[in-house]
A and B are shown apart, each in its own frame.
Chain A
Amino acid sequence: MTQFGTYVNTARRSLQEHDRRYSLRQVAKRIGVEPGYLSKIERGQVAPPSEAATVRLAKELDQDPDVLLALGGKVSSDLQEVIRKRPRLFAQLIRELRDAPDHAVLRIVREVRDGDW
């Protein structure tokens, strides 16, 4: 199994324990792929699917699309677009934050502003 396949298989089976709609066949149908293909993905016998299919799969399994894309060796198109607009700045930023602890990264994440109400 690949890390991607294991992750998807674990998430789907966890949901299936409580809800039969998360059978391999039904999940495959809802995300628009063949059951056999999803089975191979989960067993790591084929490469992770396209970005669009991965995002559909993430939503179906209530997983973070960015996490699932990263496990599949991909970066979402919208993030690529963000980097392409200011490549030098974002490349520098990401490299500088590479080994920063989570709390340090969170300090520069945009917060929802609370106002006067």
Chain B
Amino acid sequence: MITLEHDRLVFRFPEVHKDARCAIEFQRTLRIPDDGLDYPLPPGMGRFPLRHLDDYARRLPTDWLRRGGVLMPMHQAEAMWINFDCGGYPFAVKVATGKVCALTGETWMNHLNTDPQDYAVLPEQPWLDGYCVAQGIVRQFVAMPLGQGYTVEEQLTDEAEHGGLQLIAYPMKAERYEEMISMSATDAPTDYGVAYGPIKSEPMGLAPGGRMRQEIYDDDYGLDAWDQRHASRCFVTIANSVQWMALTGERPPTEPPTASAYASAGLPWFDYFGGDLTATAETDKLRGISSVAEIGATNGESPLPENESAEVDRVISLRRPGSNQVREMSADVPSTS
């Protein structure tokens, strides 16, 4: 089952194990420059709001409503990263945008694949910031309107049909988990404790932005560790700011500062080291995708405002698995508003 708690999607599998719980949230962040350079990880600036799609059923296009799930606002060209928090219970999580896998570029499938590996392994993978375009390199998730050719969905399928973001989570098999915790002194998981008219049907999709250093880790547990009889999935429909206000009556969060303003203020960027874990290689499909800036240049457009390169002086190295707070910068950031 999936519940929505404080703008987090909380996946629970009490039928598998009482500890089988995983929270996934979408962090606002600055858009790193799409200039061909490799940047460290940008900070988190708080969660994007999430709402049950069904709460706005009367105003939604039928194809949005049919998918179920949740609604999330993003400004055009805004960036985000995904934060995973499963306590100590391992999960395999697939992430797709426009029903195209962010790790392999393959079209959506409801099961796990290992060749190539199309899922992230938690808690080893604390975050996912973008599409795996090279070993140890991702291109940042950046919101763009469907229909203009920028999204990965359009680049790889020639269709602008789905948009949004899709997730499916599989818990580790209970017997494997029990075996694992009995063999180690691992900490147990903690207890977590008004425009209002119908809106047009063009949702946002996600497109590849600038490059940053992030490894997607190989599955050291093996495919057999995951309980594929039990899974929960969710479609996250991304509304632009106008659609969000029309539907919910709420203002979306303000846009984050530019990367260059953030870096100029001497605020920190981040690197993450997974120790002995090995990084998966990119696939041919994702190696071949073009970034938003590259497509814009080809089309004679400037889709990314304020895309100046940033001088990064301050990088904090993180080594702690499952950390989700230390990458956040809730204070002392320059504002655009």
* Mutual binders A and B: yes
Q: Does B9 contact A (CB under 8 A)?
A: yes
Check if A113 sits within 8 Å of B193, measured CB to CB. no
Check if B52 sits within 8 Å of A59, measured CB to CB. no
Check if B324 sits within 8 Å of A62, measured CB to CB. yes
Q: How far is the CA of A67 from the CA of B193 in the complex (A)?
A: 6
Chain B interface mostly: mixed
Q: How far is the CA of A95 from the CA of B295 in the complex (A)?
A: 59
Which residue of B6, B323, B330 contacts A18 across the interface (Cβ within 8 Å)?
Answer: B323
Check if B69 sits within 8 Å of A19, measured CB to CB. no
Q: How far is the CA of A60 from the CA of B324 in the complex (A)?
A: 11
* CB contact under 8 A between A114 and B14, given known A60-B330, A65-B6: no
Q: Which B51-83 residues have C-beta < 8 A from chain A?
A: 52-54, 65-70
Q: Can you list, as one digit per residue, whether each of B310-328 has a CB less than 8 Å from chain A (1) or not (0)?
A: 0000001011100111100
Check if A115 sits within 8 Å of B235, measured CB to CB. yes
- Chain A: CB-nearest residue to B329: A21
Check if A59 sits within 8 Å of B68, measured CB to CB. no
Check if A117 sits within 8 Å of B12, measured CB to CB. no
Check if B235 sits within 8 Å of A114, measured CB to CB. yes
- Chain A: CB-nearest residue to B4: A112
- Chain A: CB-nearest residue to B162: A117
* CB contact under 8 A between A115 and B66, given known A15-B325, A62-B324: yes
* Contacting residues, chain B, for A116 (C-beta < 8 A): 66-68
Which residue of A19, A59, A61, A112 contacts B3 across the interface (Cβ within 8 Å)?
Answer: A112
Q: Can you list, as one digit per residue, whether each of A66-104 has a CB less than 8 Å from chain B (1) or not (0)?
A: 110000000000000000000000000000000000110
* CB contact under 8 A between A117 and B2, given known A15-B326, A18-B326, A64-B193: no
- Chain A: CB-nearest residue to B64: A115
* Contacting residues, chain A, for B162 (C-beta < 8 A): 117
Which residue of A30, A59, A111 contacts B2 across the interface (Cβ within 8 Å)?
Answer: A111
- Chain B: CB-nearest residue to A32: B331
Check if A111 sits within 8 Å of B3, measured CB to CB. yes
Check if A30 sits within 8 Å of B325, measured CB to CB. no
Check if A112 sits within 8 Å of B9, measured CB to CB. yes
Size of B's binding interface in residues, CB under 8 A: 37
- Chain B: CB-nearest residue to A59: B330
- Chain A: CB-nearest residue to B70: A112
Q: How far is the CA of A114 from the CA of B168 in the complex (A)?
A: 11
Check if A62 sits within 8 Å of B192, measured CB to CB. no
Which residue of B2, B319, B325 contacts A112 across the interface (Cβ within 8 Å)?
Answer: B2
Q: Does B248 contact A (CB under 8 A)?
A: no
Q: Does B258 contact A (CB under 8 A)?
A: no
Which residue of A30, A60, A64, A103 contacts B192 across the interface (Cβ within 8 Å)?
Answer: A64
The minimal Cβ–Cβ distance linking A66 to chain B, given in whole angstroms, is 8
Q: Does B176 contact A (CB under 8 A)?
A: no
The minimal Cβ–Cβ distance linking A35 to chain B, given in whole angstroms, is 15
- Chain B: CB-nearest residue to A58: B6
Q: Does B233 contact A (CB under 8 A)?
A: yes
* Contacting residues, chain B, for A59 (C-beta < 8 A): 330
* CB contact under 8 A between A114 and B232, given known A30-B330, A64-B6, A109-B3: yes
The minimal Cβ–Cβ distance linking A116 to chain B, given in whole angstroms, is 5
Excluding A29-B331, A67-B192, 6 further A-B contacts by CB distance (< 8 Å) are A19-B326, A64-B6, A112-B3, A113-B68, A114-B68, A117-B66
B: residues with CB less than 8 A from A are: 1-6, 9, 12, 14, 52-54, 65-70, 99, 162, 166, 192-193, 232-235, 316, 318-320, 323-326, 330-331
7 smallest beta-carbon distances between A and B, as pairs: A115-B68, A62-B325, A113-B68, A67-B193, A112-B2, A117-B67, A115-B67
19 A-B pairs whose Cβ atoms sit less than 8 Å apart in the complex: A15-B326, A18-B326, A19-B325, A29-B331, A30-B331, A64-B5, A102-B14, A106-B1, A111-B3, A112-B3, A112-B52, A113-B69, A114-B2, A114-B232, A114-B233, A115-B66, A116-B68, A117-B99, A117-B235
